[in-house]
Amino acid sequence: MATNPDAERILQLCFASLLTQLVGVAAELGVADLLAEGPRPVDELAGPTGTNSDALYRVLRALAAQGIFTEVAPRTFGLTPAGAALRQDVQGSMRDLARYFGMPARNHAFVELLHAVRTGEPAFEHVHGTDYWSYLADHPGDAAIFDNAMGNLARQVHAVALEACDLSGIRVAVDVGGGHGHLAAALLGRYPDLGAVVFDLPHVVAGADKVLADAGVGHRADTVGGDFFTAVPEGGDAYVLSMILHDWDDARATAILANVRRAMDPGAKVIVVDAVIPQGDHPHLGKLLDIVMLTLLPGRERTEAEFAALFRAAGLCHAETRAPSSPTSVLVATAA
């Protein structure tokens, strides 16, 4: 490694994207599930993963150096606790997110990040000739990976951020852009008296009934298909927008909020779950998520002041921000 620490830092950053790819490959191959019962020689893993044994060895060795697997004997690997989070059906699984970060269509856009920086337009549209949501509508395999990845984040990050907010008085929460209902399922599990409406594009929300039923909360949830630029369901006393506003520029984010404002009763709350960018140079996941938005979508992450301005433009009033240091914070607004 370089002796100059500044050169060393750049060297590390130049290699960083390989780590994303390695984790994505391990997740795609389902290696962690194959190690669930204990360490196995790499030659035993090559068959079930459909890989070249030596190439797989090199991947697992590189990931062992990152604490994801451990080489317990020459060419025999076991799981570490972090590696166990790459298993599919375990509490805290992040496998679907890792698969999504390894997804070729997504990564092709990142190769063209420079295009987004030069033009301010999403590199995804430059590469694929269509916007992100239309692409997913036309590619159900990739859409399933995306929706499941959102499920990992909803359970492991957004539901945790929402614990900073007491929803015990809420009767019906409308989850606007609620995807496959993972966040609604987590909230319904936490609040036994809560009801929920999961609202998303019709072909997306079609996947929510199963998630809600599997979580044992289907009887307290409705699913509604529609377009949040047209209207959102009425009758909620809380409107949750988790990872929605960051997908859109200010004009379209305001249009969504204005539709929420039209649908909500006077006493209802708007609960936005999004990264809130802090001042200064401090590391914050939102600063990288912002680059994901720059690359894939016409969206951006925002500061608290920028959120307050969006709320004002939509006839709402920012009341408070909870969990401000988490990767995703919770901003509460009411009718102005």
Ligand X SMILES: C[S@@+](CC[C@H](N)C(=O)[O-])C[C@H]1O[C@@H](n2cnc3c(N)ncnc32)[C@H](O)[C@@H]1O
Nearest to ligand X of 80, 223 (CB atom): 223
Integer CA distances (angstroms), 263 to 170, 174, 242, in order: 16, 10, 17
**CA pseudo-torsion sign 107, 108, 112, 116:** negative
The token pair that represents 37 in the structure block: 């019962």
**Selection from 238, 87, 235 nearest residue 165 by Cα:** 238
Q: State in angstroms the smallest separation of the CB of 133 from ligand X.
A: 5
| Cα–Cα distance for residue pair 45/69, rounded to 1 Å | 13
The token pair that represents 176 in the structure block: 């606007």
> Which of 24, 102, 122, 177 is the binder for ligand X (CB under 6 A)?
177
The answer to whether 284 is a known catalytic residue is no
> Which of 106, 155, 158, 269 is the binder for ligand X (CB under 6 A)?
158
Q: Which helix (H) or strand (E) holds 26?
A: helix 5-29
DSSP characters over 164-192: TS--TT-SEEEEET-TTSHHHHHHHHH-T
Nearest to ligand X of 49, 152 (CB atom): 152
Q: Which of 115, 246, 284, 318 is catalytic?
A: 246
Q: State in angstroms the smallest separation of the CB of 142 from ligand X.
A: 13
Nearest to ligand X of 103, 244 (CB atom): 244
Q: How many residues does the chain have?
A: 336
Q: State in angstroms the smallest separation of the CB of 28 from ligand X.
A: 21
Q: How many CB atoms within 10 Å of residue 336?
A: 11
Integer CA distances (angstroms), 211 to 86, 94, 216, in order: 20, 17, 9
**Selection from 256, 253, 247, 251 nearest residue 275 by Cα:** 247
According to CB under 6 A, which residues from 105 to 134 bind ligand X? 133
Nearest to ligand X of 133, 332 (CB atom): 133
Which listed range, 18-26, 30-38, 93-101, 174-182, lies at the site for ligand X (CB under 6 A)? Answer: 174-182
Query: How many residues sit close enough to ligand X to count as binding (CB under 6 A)?
Result: 19
> Which of 24, 83, 102, 178 is the binder for ligand X (CB under 6 A)?
178
According to CB under 6 A, which residues from 200 to 229 bind ligand X? 200-201, 204, 227-229
Q: State in angstroms the smallest separation of the CB of 230 from ligand X.
A: 8
| Cα–Cα distance for residue pair 221/180, rounded to 1 Å | 12
According to CB under 6 A, which residues from 8 to 27 bind ligand X? none
**Selection from 71, 52, 47 nearest residue 61 by Cα:** 71
Nearest to ligand X of 26, 185 (CB atom): 185
Which listed range, 45-53, 96-104, 123-131, 146-154, lies at the site for ligand X (CB under 6 A)? Answer: 146-154
Task: By CB under 6 A, name the binding residues for ligand X.
Answer: 133, 150, 153-154, 158, 177-179, 183, 200-201, 204, 227-229, 242-244, 247
Q: Which residues are catalytic?
A: 246
